Chains A and B, each alone.
Chain A
Amino acid sequence: MTRKSVFRDPAQCMNCKTCIIACKLKHMFPPHNTTGAAADPKGVNLIQVYHVDPEISGDNVHQPFVSIACMHCEDAPCIKVCPSSAILKDSETHITLVDQERCIGCKACLWVCPYGAPSFNEDGKLVLCDLCIDRLREGKKTACEAACPASAIYVASPEEISELRARKAVERIAGGKME
């Protein structure tokens, strides 16, 4: 496999949160605790979807939605700060992976991640998007990419993603499909 990157397109995302559900199902995160002292209505979520303030100009309303998960930074700050070397880069795909046995739950990774992506399970161990590496190895799409009805998520090599983005930009400017 080549290097893998992820792009979540705010222009396409429509805030349906299907990716969140697909991701939770794929990873079989336990049901949310909604009662008692440990109640956490969100539970472990690897993706968060936000809407940013709309832009209104005349009759045009532009409302971007943004889904945020681990970006698999190339020079990942979380790896640098982790005191127990619990976060690693997959040598082949450059995906950021977590060794939960080693994680001690100090949360240094959360305090340093530019996207606030790290999420913690009820044992206090880090859970991070693994870009569904097992599915990628089988040649399938990631759970979120496969589920997204708006095709807002692409997981591919950085070159493929930039080509795709360039293609979209050209289409937007030219106002039509490119051959």
Chain B
Amino acid sequence: MAFISFIEGPLLWFSFLFFAAGIVTRFIFFSFVIIKSSKPRNPGWSNTLVSFLRLFLPFHMAVIKKPVYAALRYLFHICLFVVPIWLAGHIALWEESRFDWTWGTLSDEWADWMTLLFLFIAAYLFIRRVILSGIRTESKKEDLLLIIITALPFLTGYFYAHGTLDSIAFLGDNIGTIHILSGELMLIMVAFLFCRTRLNREMCTGCAACELSCPTGTLEFRDEGRNRIFSYLLYQCISCGACVNTCPEKAAELRHEIDILRLFRPTSRETIRSVELKECEQCNGLYAPGPLMRKIENVGLKITDDYIQFCPKCRRSNYLERIRVSTR
């Protein structure tokens, strides 16, 4: 079976090397972009570093907002790393390999339970995505694919170790190969897997509070023409979640995304959101983001109509005009 030996030999090597090369390249690009970037408001390296480290601590705002979901996410990621690295079966392979490497192993019982937990959470996340179509409809398909690719090695690995599918002819014979292939697919995918910020189109009001809170200057906005344009530099983002914590509309979110082209464009900014600006009815100047103004109107202010259609400058001049009339 030439195909199987190819999968178990050269392709496996290729996936590991590809994975390593991807990680190193990304680290180099990341360091380059982060060092190069400087922002006048930046409170310094310590702040950036603290924000970065906070990413690994499960005690931030996102946890308070959705504690169960956040806990499941942490468990999911712990299992994702621990099981493949410390699985006795995998370590046996490393021992056999030319490197002769070995390290402590996870007991089989633990590995089984963690795998099942992992698969359970993956199924939950998958169903959640399918049902809650409100969550980012734009990239739903890729999200589902991502969950499938991540869960597949665990699923096949579990079947492989327990011989669940041995009675089914093709699957029973080839489950080991399928397991390796799915693992390789996941390793290759990791090189293109990014964690990035998105501003939800339906909820974001364009207030730019996220831009203000971003410690690295990754998110930026500029008012150009009739629009406020938010741009984002993927490699500069440290996934600290400051934008997510700040956003009053829960519109900023950090999401995994497979992006092949972006890997090779470390310094190109992308436009991630454009919001139209509201025009002052007196001076026709553009002043505030439109969706924010609509939201403010919906708050139901009693005295809205006299002034809310005007920019702050015209509000002041209208007030002055009233005073002038009253002191006449």
| Size bin of chain A's contact surface | 35 or more
Q: From residue 1 to 57 of chain A, which have CB atoms closer than 8 A to chain B?
A: 10-11, 36-38, 48, 50, 52-53, 55
Partner of A108, one of B296, B304, B327: B296
A122: shortest Cβ distance to chain B, in Å? 7
Contact A68 B316 (CB under 8 A): yes
Complex Cα–Cα for A116 and B307 (A): 10
Q: From residue 292 to 323 of chain B, which have CB atoms closer than 8 A to chain A?
A: 292-293, 296, 299, 301-304, 306-308, 312-313, 315-317, 319-321, 323
Complex Cα–Cα for A80 and B296 (A): 9
The stretch of A99-107, A130-138, A141-149 that contacts the partner chain = A99-107
Chain A, residues 53-90, CB within 8 Å of chain B (1/0): the string is 10100000010101010000001010011011000000
Complex Cα–Cα for A116 and B248 (A): 22
Closest chain B residue, CB of each to CB of A110:
B312
Inter-chain contacts of A50 with B (CB < 8 A): 316-317, 320
Inter-chain contacts of A115 with B (CB < 8 A): 315-316, 319
> Is the C-beta of A92 less than 8 angstroms from some C-beta in chain B?
no
Complex Cα–Cα for A106 and B249 (A): 11
> Is the C-beta of A152 less than 8 angstroms from some C-beta in chain B?
no
Q: From residue 8 to 64 of chain B, which have CB atoms closer than 8 A to chain A?
A: 40-41
Pairs of residues from A and B, 3 with the lowest C-beta to C-beta distance, nearest first? A116-B312, A83-B248, A106-B207
Q: What is the interface of chain A, defined by CB distance below 8 A to chain B?
A: 10-11, 36-38, 48, 50, 52-53, 55, 62, 64, 66, 68, 75, 77, 80-81, 83-84, 104-108, 110-116, 122-124
Query: Apart from A111-B288, A113-B315, what are 8 other A-B pairs with CB-CB below 8 Å?
Result: A50-B316, A53-B324, A66-B319, A105-B213, A108-B296, A114-B315, A114-B319, A115-B319
